[in-house]
Amino acid sequence: MVATLGYAAAQAQAPLAPFHFERREPRAQDVVIEIKYCGVCHSDLHQVKDEWGGSMFPMVPGHEIVGRVVKVGAAVKNFKAGDLAGVGCMVDSCRSCPSCQEGLEQYCEKGFVGTYNGKEKDGKTITYGGYSNSIVVDEAFVLHISDKLELSAVAPLLCAGITTYSPLRYWKVGKGQKVGIVGLGGLGHMAVKLAHAFGAKVVLFTTSAGKTADAKRLGADEVVISKDPQQMKQHLRSFDFILDTVSAPHDLNAFLALLKRQGTMTLLGVPDKDPSLKIANLIFKRAQLVGSLIGGIRETQEMLDFCAEHGITSDIEVIPMQQINQAYERMLKSDVKYRFVIDMATLKD
């Protein structure tokens, strides 16, 4: 077994604290990664507080993992000791259902194995995440990381990056299209960067006028204050695609009205309460309201390669492990631009 130190929540609502545990002994197909950095996703906070139900404790969160390979099993073909590597939201899946066969493991019909707060395929071994000094993962779910980019700023690409890249790529966002991004947080700021890199005209929707300059710095061509009816009215029936990154309850109808005929609005956030819809906004324009999850392993690697080619990383604030509980409090106040990343060199008892 591999002795591991991490930070864990002992129970719901409990602060995270040092936690000793054991990773499995590496199998023939496993890669052992020394974790250098781990991004902090808002879902970590939800899970630790058991806000979605089903949380398993003790819990070691973290699914935006980057580091260096220190050991590989005898059957590993694509990694060697010394390689930079990453692990995202999944560490396994059934690998046999139609979704898995198509490289869409995120939609595994038997349920993918989450990097943390999940159970291995044996149905009993709980997975522990990246708020730790090492991880052991089957090479099929390990990603290659380019040395062209700042490693700490790559970490959030493993969740925020792929969550926004996947729908932009699937709905073929590109040159000649007008694309709206709703919200400028951890997901939204990546969506702006990626949509801009794809060549689209990017419009950022926000309720805060104070975010205008930052949105334009990130690649937005225009910023619309969504609570201003006049600004919204100027964009009626003009968008090819809108990507909504907001998890808090909000009025979707205001944005659906902005889609042109056959336009698409994709939801990434899961609000506490399902919204009410004016179905006419869809019927009279043959518009689509859809949802999207993360991406599969193949698409995640494609995203990482795209970001390396275009020099795209997340805007981050690096913190020591000991500040994780304060970081959670700041996340609740939206006091981060735009993603916290933990420096694992600071991990100590």
- One pLDDT digit (tens) per residue for the chain, 349 residues: 889 999 999 999 999 999 999 999 999 999 999 999 999 999 999 999 999 899 999 999 999 999 999 999 999 999 999 999 999 999 999 999 999 999 999 999 999 999 999 999 999 999 999 999 999 999 999 999 999 999 999 999 999 999 999 999 999 999 999 999 999 999 999 999 999 999 999 999 999 999 999 999 999 999 999 999 999 999 999 999 999 999 989 999 999 999 999 999 999 998 888 889 999 999 999 999 999 999 999 999 999 999 999 999 999 999 999 999 999 999 999 999 999 999 999 999 8
**What local confidence, expressed as pLDDT, does residue 274 receive?**
87
Residue 127 shares a structural domain with residue 252: no
Candidates 7, 61, 64, 6; CA nearest to 39 is: 64
Residue 232 shares a structural domain with residue 317: no
The number of distinct structural domains making up the chain is 2
Residue 71 shares a structural domain with residue 144: yes
Single-letter code of the amino acid located at 60: V
CATH number of domain containing 197? 3.40.50.720
Residue 135 shares a structural domain with residue 271: no
Residue 61 shares a structural domain with residue 105: yes
The SS3 assignment for 87 reads strand
The domain boundary, picked from 256, 274, 291, lies at 291
The domain boundary, picked from 244, 265, 291, lies at 291
CA 103 to centroid of chain Cα atoms: 18
**What local confidence, expressed as pLDDT, does residue 240 receive?**
98
Tell me the C-alpha distance between 89 and 106, whole Å: 9
Candidates 1, 146, 170, 151; CA nearest to 65 is: 151
Residue 261 shares a structural domain with residue 201: yes
Residue 225 shares a structural domain with residue 304: no
Residue 59 shares a structural domain with residue 139: yes
The label of the residue with tokens 């019927």 reads 283
Candidates 302, 303, 265, 312; CA nearest to 286 is: 265
Residue 328 shares a structural domain with residue 253: no
Candidates 96, 94, 142, 97; CA nearest to 115 is: 142
Q: Are 182 and 244 in contact (CB under 8 A)?
A: yes
Q: Are 128 and 136 in contact (CB under 8 A)?
A: no
Domain that holds residue 14: 2-159+295-346
Q: Are 84 and 276 in contact (CB under 8 A)?
A: no
Residue 268 shares a structural domain with residue 320: no
Residue 106 shares a structural domain with residue 144: yes
Which is it for strands 239-244 and 259-267: parallel, antiparallel or unpaired?
parallel
CATH number of domain containing 147? 3.90.180.10
Residue 7 shares a structural domain with residue 155: yes
Q: Is 303 exposed, middle or buried (0-12, 13-18, 19+ CB in 10 A)?
A: buried
